[in-house]
A and B are shown apart, each in its own frame.
Chain A
Amino acid sequence: MDKREMNRREFIKRSAACAAYATAGMALSGLVGPYAGADQAPDIVLANGSPGPAAWAAVKALGGMQRFVRPGDRVVIKPNMSFPNPPDWATTTHPEVVRALTEMCIKAGAGSVLVLDNPLRNPELCVERSGLKAACGDLPQAQIEGITNRRFFEEVKVPEGKALKATMIMKAVLEANVLIAAPVAKSHSATGVSLAMKGMMGLIYDRMAFHLDLDLDEAVVDLCTVLRPKLTVIDASRLLSEGGPGGPGKVIKLNKVIASTDMVAADAMAVEQGTWYGRKFKAKQVKHVRIAHQRGLGNLEVKSQIVKEVSA
């Protein structure tokens, strides 16, 4: 999987650029810096509109799916489909977003697209009631599976792990060429928010150890050192502001889809776009996002990055 790293020079350069824009009074909002460069792909895309078209627009603005998926690739899309709840509860990824991503992958020539999660509840019910089965079921190259059986997981070492040293990951993910994180934006009663990084816990077999034996926030980051999506698309069409991860809770309509090649940046953007437990938070206030940034997994400084806002 791709390892996108930012060196210090680039970081400073971009920070300076952003600051310049801000002082020039060109910012559209306090959070979002405008993107003026023509050639350079943005770091984060913020797409407004209904879930499906916004997902298309977001990926297009990042350079299109062909940037990530080559013909014949085996793609795994990891949505959140952990609960047998309808889309409007905002506990699972919107079916239109997953549908759009699947179609994009197929259009880019993907050999197969697997939509995978290890749901917390009965897998058949989860894929059915989340609307994801209906959304992707008719695409011949696509397959949606809630995998819970140990047989389909394989032990993987976590060399950079501080808390987590090894874990069992879905074989299909290990065999894939491309991993796409497609979480829904929601609150989480243990990690504050559950976005792309926390969502990676849906690709492993034993989540118990995370809660029981390990520092949860640290372990989530450890896991992301071995599970690094090439592309992160966060469904923030609506956001579960509190009551996560299972809901029901307060749902806020945002009509946004966030995309980035950097899962930390995408998560950070989602944190700052949303309202959580009735309050606004900075990305660095979410413990696992901050740890990921500190450990160099990605960049949580939204303001220092090239953000492109598009509408669909």
Chain B
Amino acid sequence: MRFQRFLQIPLFALFLLLLGLAAYPLPSWLPVDLFLRLDPLLSLGSMATARAFIPRVAWSLLVIGLTLFVGRLFCGYICPMGATIDFADWVSGRKQKERMRNSFEASGRFRNFKYLFLVALGGTTLIGVSSIFFFSPLSLITRFYSFVLWPLALMTANLILDTSRFLFPWIGMKELAFFRFSVPVFNTNLFVGSLVVAILALGLIRSRFWCRNLCPAGAIFALFSFRPLFKRKVSEGCTNCGLCLRSCPMGAIGEDFVATAHSECIACLKCREICPEKAISFKVARKAPAPVPEIDLNRREILSAGLTGVAAAAVAMTNLNHLHGAEAPRALRSSRLIRPPGALPEPAFQARCVRCGECVKGCLTNTLQPVWLEAGITGLWTPKITARLAGCEQNCNVCGHLCPTGAIRPMDLEEKKFAKVGTAHIIKSRCIAWEQDKKCLICDEICPYNAISSQLVPGRPVTVPVIDENKCNGCGYCENKCPVIGESAILVEPLGELRLATGSYQEKARELGLVFHAKAGVEDHFILNAGEAYERSIQRSPAVKDKEGVIPLPPGFVPE
């Protein structure tokens, strides 16, 4: 096994480990989004779109700096997408003989695409629309492993657990007797999977087809690895057998076997390993032969690509469903689009969100889901709270701490409680207490903030749920637990959400008179909505007599 694999495989394992650790409880001392921070496209792209320096993803600048000395080392050693592609290429088992025309010159047909993609993405960024998530390798691959492979891995683990459960008491593993992984579900997973599978399938045409031709992050590295410190050297011993040329995963070797396109070379050292004459070495050198021209772009191509990007962004912005930064903001937001707590105001949020899926993967309750086109074309894969599936746990703040670009603000638990994401409201025509006189208090029971109370109202024989909107922070447990089949009878909608770019949510909430933590012993546990008749509630003041002079009983109690 060559040197590359000794680094690439452990680093890929680290990528998977960190992705696995992106969960509740989050190890705060560990940068679990490490690999995302290293992707220069993701980093520079999100900074450019957000028009802000984002320190957390500035780590990629170090990687770019490193590239100046060692070339596209990232692609060959660090990139999990690269490792996945290498694995797929290895599985597909295409042998060298089929790759006769693998020289830099002969395989260059699509090579410029990555630069043009990069320029086009620059164009969209200029307008302020983020589209890097379509092409950022780390965004693509993190989504893939999170949304597609993670649930499959857990299902497999459960299968193993269930089939061997009878063994556990005998081998002293009683802790596993009731253990089962809960398998998360993800929106858009088939699409995410198809995209990555398509990228892997391109490997049937050429190895690392994506890395050579399409990856704009690779393009950034290529631009910085024109003349790296370490260069490929071919000695006099070369017999022109062509083995190196045929086996180069990047097609970086020129037709004369000597010239090396260092913008393509990922320093995997395969050529050095495979050379029967041991004629190839990588050394510090001032000059080395390179194919001419190495990057074959003309001004017209660059301009067209840039303009295409600008135009595409402009068209996206004039799309009906575009939510932010358009000519005039419109109220076309979906009423079911609930953003995670601490999400920046929508324009800044969409500009920064790189759709990596870390927050979605890390979400304790699985309520965060990537959306399709609910937030407009440019909002693809942005996270939303899907309360019908699960509520947002009040004691969890993982999503904000996972976001590499700060699209979701990291908050402590107390602050998060005040980051109101929306307000629940009851669809009375669907509610079985309001509509069918059923004694249902589930939303009242579950509400962690005591925003829902069951009240007796005139004309209703049973208590019905009533919401105090100032106590509701939109966590969605009510919507989740509502027993009605299909769409819930109590829905969280964005009305009242707090989206702050800076400043304290607690202060803002206090300013607005919101109360999210009713303390033990508070008198106003059952609060009536303003304007509602005081005597409606028997629970709030049981001592108050009704019209007949009788003290009404709380639910569950009967007269003596």
A interface footprint on B407-450 (CB within 8 Å = 1, 0 otherwise): 00000000000000000000000001000001111101111101
Question: In the complex, which residues 85-131 of chain A have their Cβ closer than 8 Å to any Cβ of chain B?
Answer: 88-89, 112, 120-122, 125, 129
Selected interface stretch from B63-71, B141-149, B202-210, B516-524 = B516-524
**Distance (Å) between the CB of A294 and the closest chain B CB?**
12
Is B321 interfacial (CB-CB < 8 Å)? no
When distances are taken between beta carbons in the complex, the residues of chain B under 8 Å from A286 are 556-558
B interface footprint on A260-284 (CB within 8 Å = 1, 0 otherwise): 0000000000000000111101101
Q: Which of A151, A243, A282 contacts B525 (CB 8 A)?
A: A243
Check A149 against B180 for contact (C-beta < 8 Å).
yes
Task: Given A125-B395, A212-B432, check contact A191 B556 (CB 8 Å).
Answer: yes
Which residue in chain A gives the minimum CB-CB distance to B551? Answer: A279
Is A290 interfacial (CB-CB < 8 Å)? yes
When distances are taken between beta carbons in the complex, the residues of chain A under 8 Å from B364 are 122
Check A248 against B440 for contact (C-beta < 8 Å).
no
Check B539 against A248 for contact (C-beta < 8 Å).
no
Q: Which of B175, B177, B439, B555 contacts A211 (CB 8 A)?
A: B439
B interface footprint on A129-149 (CB within 8 Å = 1, 0 otherwise): 100000000000001010101
Classify chain A's interface size: 35 or more
Is A193 interfacial (CB-CB < 8 Å)? yes
When distances are taken between beta carbons in the complex, the residues of chain B under 8 Å from A112 are 174
Which residue in chain A gives the minimum CB-CB distance to B452? Answer: A189
Is B273 interfacial (CB-CB < 8 Å)? no
**Distance (Å) between the CB of B424 and the closest chain A CB?**
15
Is A1 interfacial (CB-CB < 8 Å)? no
When distances are taken between beta carbons in the complex, the residues of chain B under 8 Å from A217 are 556
22 A-B pairs whose Cβ atoms sit less than 8 Å apart in the complex: A122-B364, A125-B395, A145-B178, A149-B178, A187-B554, A189-B444, A189-B454, A190-B556, A192-B557, A211-B438, A211-B440, A211-B441, A211-B442, A212-B440, A242-B539, A245-B445, A250-B520, A282-B560, A285-B558, A285-B560, A288-B556, A290-B558
Cα distance A278–B555 in the bound complex, in angstroms: 14
**Distance (Å) between the CB of A87 and the closest chain B CB?**
11
Check B432 against A276 for contact (C-beta < 8 Å).
no
Give the 3 A-B residue pairs with the shortest CB-CB distance, closest first: A192-B556, A191-B556, A248-B520
Question: In the complex, which residues 177-205 of chain B have their Cβ closer than 8 Å to any Cβ of chain A?
Answer: 177-178, 180, 182
Is A152 interfacial (CB-CB < 8 Å)? yes
When distances are taken between beta carbons in the complex, the residues of chain B under 8 Å from A250 are 520-521, 525
Task: Please name 13 further chain A to chain B contacts, defined as beta carbons within 8 Å, in addition to the given A250-B525, A276-B554, sorted by A numbering.
Answer: A88-B520, A120-B445, A172-B178, A189-B454, A189-B539, A189-B555, A211-B441, A211-B442, A212-B432, A212-B440, A217-B556, A249-B450, A288-B556
Is A230 interfacial (CB-CB < 8 Å)? no
Check B365 against A188 for contact (C-beta < 8 Å).
no
Check A246 against B555 for contact (C-beta < 8 Å).
no
**Distance (Å) between the CB of A28 and the closest chain B CB?**
24
Check A287 against B178 for contact (C-beta < 8 Å).
no
Is B162 interfacial (CB-CB < 8 Å)? yes
Cα distance A189–B556 in the bound complex, in angstroms: 7
Which residue in chain B gives the minimum CB-CB distance to A211? Answer: B440
Is B242 interfacial (CB-CB < 8 Å)? no
**Distance (Å) between the CB of B101 and the closest chain A CB?**
56
Task: Given A143-B174, A217-B556, A242-B525, check contact A277 B542 (CB 8 Å).
Answer: yes
Task: Given A190-B556, A250-B520, A290-B558, check contact A122 B447 (CB 8 Å).
Answer: no
Question: In the complex, which residues 171-206 of chain A have their Cβ closer than 8 Å to any Cβ of chain B?
Answer: 172, 187-193
Check A190 against B520 for contact (C-beta < 8 Å).
no
Check A285 against B447 for contact (C-beta < 8 Å).
no
Cα distance A112–B445 in the bound complex, in angstroms: 33
Task: Given A88-B520, A143-B175, check contact A278 B542 (CB 8 Å).
Answer: yes
A interface footprint on B521-558 (CB within 8 Å = 1, 0 otherwise): 11001100000000000010011000000010111111
Cα distance A59–B103 in the bound complex, in angstroms: 85
Is A229 interfacial (CB-CB < 8 Å)? no
Cα distance A129–B553 in the bound complex, in angstroms: 33
When distances are taken between beta carbons in the complex, the residues of chain B under 8 Å from A212 are 432, 438, 440, 483
Check A188 against B525 for contact (C-beta < 8 Å).
no
Q: Which of A122, A190, A251 contacts B555 (CB 8 A)?
A: A190
Check B454 against A151 for contact (C-beta < 8 Å).
no
Decide if the interface of chain A is mainly helix, strand, loop or mixed: mixed
Check A248 against B554 for contact (C-beta < 8 Å).
no
Check A287 against B557 for contact (C-beta < 8 Å).
yes
Check B560 against A284 for contact (C-beta < 8 Å).
yes
Is B393 interfacial (CB-CB < 8 Å)? yes
Check A125 against B393 for contact (C-beta < 8 Å).
yes
Check B519 against A248 for contact (C-beta < 8 Å).
yes
B interface footprint on A206-249 (CB within 8 Å = 1, 0 otherwise): 00100110001100000000000000000000000011011111
**Distance (Å) between the CB of A36 and the closest chain B CB?**
30
**Distance (Å) between the CB of A214 and the closest chain B CB?**
10
Cα distance A151–B558 in the bound complex, in angstroms: 38
Is A84 interfacial (CB-CB < 8 Å)? yes
Task: Given A282-B560, A285-B558, check contact A151 B180 (CB 8 Å).
Answer: yes
Which residue in chain B gives the minimum CB-CB distance to A83? Answer: B448
When distances are taken between beta carbons in the complex, the residues of chain B under 8 Å from A172 are 178
Check A89 against B454 for contact (C-beta < 8 Å).
no
When distances are taken between beta carbons in the complex, the residues of chain A under 8 Å from B517 are 248
Which residue in chain B gives the minimum CB-CB distance to A152? Answer: B178
**Distance (Å) between the CB of A206 and the closest chain B CB?**
10
Best-surrounded residue of A125, A282, A284 (most CB of chain B within 10 A)? A125
Is B559 interfacial (CB-CB < 8 Å)? yes
A interface footprint on B384-397 (CB within 8 Å = 1, 0 otherwise): 00000000010100
Question: In the complex, which residues 188-241 of chain B have their Cβ closer than 8 Å to any Cβ of chain A?
Answer: none
**Distance (Å) between the CB of A253 and the closest chain B CB?**
11
B interface footprint on A53-79 (CB within 8 Å = 1, 0 otherwise): 000000000000000000000000000
Cα distance A145–B177 in the bound complex, in angstroms: 10
Cα distance A211–B454 in the bound complex, in angstroms: 14
Check B180 against A188 for contact (C-beta < 8 Å).
no
Check B483 against A188 for contact (C-beta < 8 Å).
no
Check A279 against B542 for contact (C-beta < 8 Å).
yes
When distances are taken between beta carbons in the complex, the residues of chain A under 8 Å from B555 are 189-192
Cα distance A189–B456 in the bound complex, in angstroms: 12
Cα distance A246–B441 in the bound complex, in angstroms: 12
Check B518 against A248 for contact (C-beta < 8 Å).
yes
Which residue in chain B gives the minimum CB-CB distance to A282? Answer: B560
**Distance (Å) between the CB of B453 and the closest chain A CB?**
8
Cα distance A212–B438 in the bound complex, in angstroms: 7
**Distance (Å) between the CB of B154 and the closest chain A CB?**
13
Cα distance A290–B558 in the bound complex, in angstroms: 9
Check A208 against B483 for contact (C-beta < 8 Å).
yes
Q: Which of B182, B519, B543 contacts A278 (CB 8 A)?
A: B543
Check B162 against A151 for contact (C-beta < 8 Å).
yes
Cα distance A95–B479 in the bound complex, in angstroms: 31
When distances are taken between beta carbons in the complex, the residues of chain A under 8 Å from B438 are 211-212
Check B445 against A285 for contact (C-beta < 8 Å).
no
Check B557 against A246 for contact (C-beta < 8 Å).
no
When distances are taken between beta carbons in the complex, the residues of chain B under 8 Å from A279 are 542-543, 551
**Distance (Å) between the CB of A23 and the closest chain B CB?**
23
Cα distance A247–B522 in the bound complex, in angstroms: 11
Check A189 against B395 for contact (C-beta < 8 Å).
no
